[in-house]
A and B are shown apart, each in its own frame.
Chain A
Amino acid sequence: MQTNADGRVRFSGDFGNFLAMQIWRGLLTLVTLGIHRFWWRTAERRFLWEATAIDGDRLEYRGRGLELLIGTLFVVLGLFLPFSLVVGLLPLFVDPESPAGLIGQGSLLLVYALGGLFLWGFGTYRARRYRLSRTAWRSIRSGMVGNGVVFGRLWLVTSLVQGLTLGLATPWAQALRWNALWSDKMLGTVPVAADAQWQPLFRPFLYGWLGVVALPALLIGGAVASGVADLPAGASVSGEEALLLFLPFLLVLVAGAVVPLLFLNYRARFLSAALAATSVGPVRLGFDARLGDWLRFHLVNAALILFTFGLGLLAMPFRRWGFWMRHVELHGELDPAEVRQSQLQAPGHGEGLADAFDIGGI
């Protein structure tokens, strides 16, 4: 039994049962050349949802594997197939070297890039929407009010800005996306509000960013400064000179260990801040996992995966879910009489793009 700090969230999933299910479903998926994955994913979610209770009541997952299959078919047949055919057959009809061909190739690349970014955001939104529409708590369904197009455009624009600023706009972009996504969510008729601020998160992000930028700079600068570049081949060096030579490489090694930690720190702070700025009606959320918790989490995961030669990957959804349930915070109460059934139209099928792009989450 894993619970959060004040016991309002309880995850009572049995790890052994989970692992057994994962192995069985994983084998089925292999044998069916991947088709079974839709039912696998559904079974996984149902296991985790139904083992989780919030304020004494279990979550219910009402998704069906078939819905996921149909979603993927739509995307493959309606989007990927026509596009692949056009791209594949185009060189036969238009000489790639000719001006028309070059323009064609250029526009295709543009479509790939921009379309891809838009679809990533769109797919993320749709997957979330599907999952929420199939989640119920105390018989009240969740959902999302939008249809994904606005979010897709937002993803595209924020990604472009991120690129233009060489990544510095990332806290701003991530906060904006978080707010856009979460503000559309609803529990029945109770709206979710999110108002994450990126400013306090900029400094932690900057440390990581500097680390990434500094690495090559250290390497190059150090090599130049220590005179490695000027040494004739085969020259012998004194002890001190050797130390000077290897110092930049040592620094790089150290930076290589520190930079991921810096980004992990940023990520921990981001999630804490974002969830603290999110509320379901009058209930304010929160997340109390600190850098140390995250580090331990990832290290145990890495060990699990390594020492089982990869089988440990099957346990990851369970580990992730448990981690989240242990660290989520709820502040305040909902008046049950005020939480009325959702009036939202639920999507008929789901997650085609998310499946095709392998967008993560559980």
Chain B
Amino acid sequence: MPSISAESEALGQEWRPATLLDGTTAVRHPVELADGGDCLLLRQPGATPEPFTKSRLRRVSDGRDLTVLGRADHPDWRLVIDPPLPPEWLAGIRPAHAPDGRRLAIRGLALAGIAALAAGLWFGGGPILEAAAPLIPESATQAMGDAIVANLSAKGVCASAPAAAALEGLVTRLEPVEGAPSPVRLTIVDVPVPNALAAPGGRIVLTRGLIEGAEGADEVAGVLAHEMGHVHHLHSQKAVLRALGLAAFLSALGGQSADLAQEALSLSSSREAEREADGHALERLAAAGISATGLAAFFARQVEGGEADKGKKTPEALGKLMDNLGTWSRTHPPEAERLARIRAHVATEGATTPALSPGEWAALKAACKEAEPVATPAA
């Protein structure tokens, strides 16, 4: 029976020397190779040639000085050919690292897993951290709040007693009887830009610019109710946890895009916080019988006059506020949506009474007339 070698020799086959490493021992087996079209013929000395279909072979190394072939079904098997095989022989032999179905599946799964994890952390990480907000002990929140207010008071505090009394009365009117996490403590700082902010520990800071720029007591009441909403929902504590959590995660990764990511994350949740605070404000104003027209007017002014700059409410930003208190519109993104919501509420309002009596309003307006220009610690 004609052997394959006799046939191929008859066909004038070219045989090239190669070394077979069978992956079982380190013995080098000298062999000869010939091209059989869709297979490579491998001949051990004194034996009949064995065909290896090219689809089962893999190119492990395809360089200028060597060709190394492997087998898909035997990962340790190697064929070393020096000098390298001509390209026609190698046609039909896939590179070793070409992704086959299984590899692609594994890669796809790995990527999907990473994406799922990232998504989980992105969406779930925030809520998980925020769930811990009520657990922060009061001593810590008071300390944080005191520190923030102390920094903001660097330029001075408006410590007028009648003004404080007027505000206290307003707070009592707005504050829900149960459920307030900590007593609200108000401070008016001597800063010309109109702004208000809620710090941990129930601290609320209003600026002179806000009070002097307000066109009525109802405006101040609206802003105050909004800030009390932040206090009620523990927004500043949650922001601290989010920022610290994110910072911890990014530093663990060796984060280089830390700032960018931090901005992005704080943005998405601060909008939620603003919406919540708005809702709380409208509810409390209604319960107290104060019109939300003032709040709407205040907002409208900010939307017109303010920059559409995206605001931030992270402690990092709070820290920046310590040096440079931005305008309301910068720290509370004024969206048409929020204004529309307030206006809709106004349309359905019942009977209302003014937030403050004319005398109280006058006292509040004059709060900073006696303000000391020198830095004083918060009361």
Please give the residue numbers on chain A whose beta carbons come within 8 Å of chain B beta carbons, in ascending order: 33-34, 50, 57-58, 60, 64, 66, 70, 73, 76-77, 80-81, 83-85, 87-89, 91-93, 95, 136-141, 188, 334, 336-341
Contacts and interface: CB of A to CB of B under 8 A. Distances in A.
A49 to B, nearest CB: 11
Interface in B8-27: 21-27
Interface string B69-104: 000000011101000000000000000010000000
A139 B21 contact: yes
B25 A140 contact: yes
Nearest to B21: A139
Interface stretch (B206-214, B250-258, B264-272, B301-309): B250-258
Contacts of A93: 132, 135-137, 140
Given A34-B256, A340-B24, A89 B61 contact: no
B241 A50 contact: no
Given A85-B249, A92-B241, A137-B26, 12 more contacts: A34-B254, A66-B107, A81-B253, A84-B249, A88-B247, A89-B245, A89-B248, A95-B137, A138-B21, A139-B23, A141-B76, A336-B27
A139 B22 contact: yes
Contacts of A88: 244-245, 247-248
B77 A139 contact: yes
Contacts of A337: 25-27
29 contacts: A33-B256, A33-B257, A34-B256, A50-B61, A57-B21, A60-B61, A64-B97, A66-B107, A73-B114, A76-B253, A80-B253, A81-B248, A88-B244, A88-B245, A88-B248, A91-B140, A92-B241, A93-B132, A95-B139, A95-B140, A137-B26, A138-B21, A138-B26, A139-B23, A139-B78, A140-B25, A336-B27, A336-B28, A341-B25
A76 B27 CA distance: 43
Contacts of B251: 84
Nearest to A77: B117
Nearest to A137: B26
A137 B61 CA distance: 14
A58 B63 CA distance: 13
A139 B66 CA distance: 15
A80 B253 CA distance: 8
A289 to B, nearest CB: 28
A84 B251 CA distance: 8
A337 B21 CA distance: 11
Contact of A139 (B76, B245, B253): B76
B378 interface: no
B180 interface: no
B281 interface: no
Interface residues on B, range: 35 or more
B316 to A, nearest CB: 14
Nearest to A88: B248
B240 interface: yes
A334 B27 CA distance: 10
B110 interface: yes
Residues of B contacting A: mostly:
mixed
A331 B140 CA distance: 68
Nearest to B60: A60
Nearest to A335: B26
Closest 3 A-B residue pairs measured CB to CB? A139-B21, A339-B26, A84-B248
A8 to B, nearest CB: 15
Nearest to A81: B252
Interface string B160-181: 0000000000000000000000
Contacts of B60: 60
A57 B27 CA distance: 11
Contacts of B110: 66, 70
Contacts of A64: 97
Nearest to A140: B26
A84 B255 CA distance: 13
A140 B249 CA distance: 41
Contact of B26 (A77, A89, A91, A334): A334
A138 B139 CA distance: 68
Contacts of A34: 254, 256
Contacts of B21: 57, 138-139
Contacts of B248: 81, 84-85, 87-89
A50 B76 CA distance: 16
B59 to A, nearest CB: 13
B23 A341 contact: yes
Contacts of A139: 21-23, 26, 76-78
Interface string B22-60: 111111100000000000000000000000000000001
Contacts of A80: 252-253
A70 B21 CA distance: 31
B135 A136 contact: no
Contacts of A76: 252-253
Contacts of A81: 248-249, 252-253
A57 B25 CA distance: 14
B25 A339 contact: yes
Interface string B234-248: 000000110011011
A140 B25 CA distance: 7
A50 B66 CA distance: 10
